[in-house]
């Protein structure tokens, strides 16, 4: 037992040291773990702070974008309302100016009528005084028989009432003419407001896009045999230049141009381009265009609700789809004229179906091939006459350019509707360069005549006013000069609609009293 006691003491010390070391190691490990946990928590907090900052920045940016969008929307709405207000103000000013002009004209007419009434009253008073003196003289003349006295009195009464009858007749005629003008304006305005159409763009060339530049060489072919075959089969001209991936089809015949476009599109998609395939695709395109022409004619007839038209007439109507007149599609123009004729005829108590038929067919001569001689009005009249149309429709078609005398009121309706459809804003247009050149040529043509001092093209080139020297040109020569200028314009210029020629010869003599 004595020997075991010294051995237990070091063992106890060793165990104590081990426990102390274990506790120290555990404390160190615990502290190290706590430090790592704190660092990890700090990192998590820092990441959370950064995410919060980014989210706040994104939310603020989104809010700013939404605010800017709403601000832009408010600005656009304000600008729109400001433009609408400006337009309404201009309309009000224009209306006020027109009312002022009407008031001024009314005052002028009232002053004129007052002067005329004063003059008539003065003349009537003079005639009455003369009549009284004449009656007194007649009473003292006992040699006159009863018949002479009656005749003399009758002449006196007629002379006394002549001025009043003349004034009454003039007033009645002026009122009737004004009523007719107001009624005509009402009918035209009502008709035009009921019809709305869109402008069309003229096409004299067609562009076909190619998938690659290599396709141009295949279209041309070896020694140009493919392009020659294509132009011979379609009757158009293919223009292939340095413009990338593009070929231009040029032709003044829109039907040929459409056939060429469809054929070339088919050839490019198929990829096999040689004379045999060219002929095949051209024939196929021609069949498609013929089918489209027939369908377009039937659609036009269906839109207007016209029955009983000959199939050949419907086919020629469909060809008008590919015709243009100063940027206006001829088929759309014909449909529009048909609607206008129908509405005007309804306002006047005429047959709207006859007017509609004449209006639709008035330009059908433009769809006839160029083998026939004469204007399109005469050609169209012959065509519809051969296919069973009534004399009223035939005359309306032939007379819509006044080459033939109108025989019925329906011809006048077609002339009026044709003018309204062609002259409405947006219906016909030309480039600014050609427009200016046309006006300059018109003025130069007038200035080239002898005796002309000044020439002005007005009304967008629809009227030319020529001022001649009164010392060198007489009234008769001025009349001949207007006819000469009209012939020169018809022979040398190309122009839409008509041109009115006005020759002015004026002499002024001025003296100053001192």
Identify the residue whose tokens are 């309706």.
413
Each residue's pLDDT tens digit, 317-347? 888 888 877 667 888 888 888 888 888 888 8
Mean pLDDT (whole number) for 9-38: 81
**pLDDT above 80 (res 46):** yes
Identify the residue whose tokens are 């998590």.
44
Nearest to 338 by CA among 404, 410, 394, 281: 410
β-strand pairing of 324-325 with 246-250? unpaired
Biggest CA pair distance of the chain: 208
13 — pLDDT class (breaks 50, 70, 90):
confident
HSE on the CB side for 248, CA within 13 Å?
A: 11
For residues 312, 313, 316, 317, the Cα torsion angle rounded to the nearest 10 degrees is -140
- CA–CA separation, 419 and 158 (whole Å): 48
Mean pLDDT (whole number) for 363-384: 79
- Stretch among 140-149, 198-207, 300-309, 471-480 having the lowest mean pLDDT: 198-207
**pLDDT above 50 (res 2):** no
388 — pLDDT class (breaks 50, 70, 90):
confident
196 — pLDDT class (breaks 50, 70, 90):
low
**pLDDT above 50 (res 79):** yes
- Looking at residue 435, its pLDDT comes to 66
- CA–CA separation, 260 and 239 (whole Å): 12
Backbone dihedral angles phi then psi of residue 305, each to the nearest 5 degrees: 70, 40
Q: What is the CATH number of domain 432-504?
A: 3.30.70.1350
Strand partners, 504: 467
**pLDDT above 80 (res 373):** no
Answer whether CATH 1.10.10.10 is correct for domain 305-423.
Answer: no
Looking at residue 253, what DSSP letter applies? -
Nearest to 489 by CA among 366, 436, 497, 467: 497
**pLDDT above 80 (res 182):** no
- Looking at residue 88, its pLDDT comes to 85
**Mean pLDDT estimate for the chain:** 80
Nearest to 310 by CA among 393, 245, 247, 231: 393
Q: What is the CATH number of domain 205-298?
A: 3.30.1370.10
Nearest to 251 by CA among 195, 204, 211: 204
47 — pLDDT class (breaks 50, 70, 90):
confident
- Stretch among 221-225, 346-350, 368-372 having the lowest mean pLDDT: 368-372
The number of beta carbons lying within 10 Å of the beta carbon of residue 472 is 12
Q: Which residues contact 363 (CB under 8 A, 6 or more apart)?
A: 320, 330, 333, 334, 337, 376, 380, 400, 418
Phi and psi based region of residue 72 (left: phi greater than 0; alpha: psi -120 to 50; beta: remaining): alpha
Higher pLDDT, 354 or 431: 354
HSE on the CB side for 260, CA within 13 Å?
A: 29
Higher pLDDT, 484 or 496: 484
CA separation (Å) from 402 to 294, 336, 468? 30, 20, 30
**Cβ pair 348, 340 in contact under 8 A:** no
**Cβ pair 348, 190 in contact under 8 A:** no
- CA–CA separation, 433 and 399 (whole Å): 33
Nearest to 127 by CA among 153, 152, 154, 157: 157
Please list, residue by residue across 316-325, b when 16 or more beta carbons sit within 10 angstroms of its beta carbon and e when fewer do. bbbbbbbbbb
- Stretch among 8-12, 243-247, 349-353, 475-479 having the lowest mean pLDDT: 8-12
**pLDDT above 60 (res 203):** no
**Cβ pair 373, 428 in contact under 8 A:** no
CA separation (Å) from 224 to 82, 114, 230, 245, 289? 62, 86, 10, 18, 27
72 — pLDDT class (breaks 50, 70, 90):
confident
Spell out the domain ranges in the chain: 112-194, 205-298, 305-423, 432-504
Q: For the full predicted model, state whether its pTM sits above 0.85.
A: no
- Stretch among 129-138, 206-215, 262-271, 469-478 having the lowest mean pLDDT: 129-138
Identify the residue whose tokens are 């035209």.
188
**pLDDT above 80 (res 387):** yes
Nearest to 496 by CA among 343, 260, 277, 326: 326
Nearest to 290 by CA among 256, 264, 261, 267: 256
């Amino acid at each position: 037992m004595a020997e075991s006691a010294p051995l237990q003491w070091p063992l106890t010390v060793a165990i104590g040291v081990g426990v102390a070391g274990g506790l120290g190691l555990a404390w160190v490990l615990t502290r190290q773990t706590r430090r790592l946990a704190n660092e990890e928590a700090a990192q998590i907090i820092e990441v959370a702070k950064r995410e919060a900052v980014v989210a706040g920045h994104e939310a603020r940016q989104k809010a700013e974008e939404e605010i800017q969008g709403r601000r832009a929307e408010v600005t656009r709405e304000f600008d729109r309302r400001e433009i609408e207000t400006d337009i309404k103000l201009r309309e009000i000013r224009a209306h006020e100016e027109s009312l002022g002009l009407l008031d001024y004209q009314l005052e002028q007419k009232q002053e004129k009528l007052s002067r005329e009434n004063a003059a008539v009253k003065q003349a009537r008073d003079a005639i009455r005084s003369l009549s009284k003196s004449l009656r007194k003289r007649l009473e003292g003349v006992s040699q006159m028989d009863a018949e002479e006295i009656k005749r003399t009195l009758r002449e006196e009464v007629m002379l006394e009432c002549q001025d009043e009858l003349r004034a009454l007749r003039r007033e009645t005629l002026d009122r009737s003419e004004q009523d007719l003008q107001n009624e005509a304006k009402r009918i035209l305005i009502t008709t035009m407001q009921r019809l709305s159409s869109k402008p069309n763009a003229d096409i004299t060339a067609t562009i076909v896009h190619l998938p690659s530049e290599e396709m141009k060489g295949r279209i041309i072919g070896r020694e140009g045999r493919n392009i020659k075959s294509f132009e011979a089969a379609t009757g158009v001209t293919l223009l292939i230049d340095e413009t990338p991936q593009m070929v231009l089809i040029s032709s003044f015949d829109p039907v040929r141009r459409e056939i060429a476009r469809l054929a070339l599109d088919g050839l490019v998609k198929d990829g096999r381009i040689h004379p045999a395939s060219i002929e095949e695709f051209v024939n196929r395109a021609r069949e498609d265009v013929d089918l489209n022409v027939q369908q377009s004619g039937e659609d036009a007839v269906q839109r207007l609700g016209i029955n009983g038209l000959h199939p050949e007439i419907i086919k020629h109507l469909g060809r008008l789809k590919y015709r243009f007149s100063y940027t206006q599609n001829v088929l759309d123009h014909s449909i529009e004229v048909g609607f206008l004729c129908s509405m005007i005829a309804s306002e006047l108590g005429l047959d709207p179906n006859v007017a509609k038929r004449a209006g639709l067919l008035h330009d059908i001569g433009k769809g006839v091939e160029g083998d026939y001689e004469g204007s399109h009005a005469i050609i169209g009249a012959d065509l519809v006459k051969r296919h069973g149309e009534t004399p009223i429709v035939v005359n309306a078609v032939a007379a819509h350019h006044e080459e033939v005398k109108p025989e019925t009121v329906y011809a006048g309706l077609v002339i009026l509707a044709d003018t309204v459809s062609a002259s409405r804003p947006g219906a016909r247009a030309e480039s600014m360069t050609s427009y200016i050149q046309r006006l300059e040529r018109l003025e130069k043509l007038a200035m080239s005549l002898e005796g002309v001092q000044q020439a002005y093209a007005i009304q967008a080139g629809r009227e030319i006013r020529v001022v001649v020297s009164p010392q060198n040109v007489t009234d008769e020569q001025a009349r001949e000069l207007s006819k000469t200028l009209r012939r020169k314009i018809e022979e040398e210029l190309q122009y839409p609609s008509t041109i009115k020629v006005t020759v002015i010869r004026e002499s002024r003599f001025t003296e100053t009293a001192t």
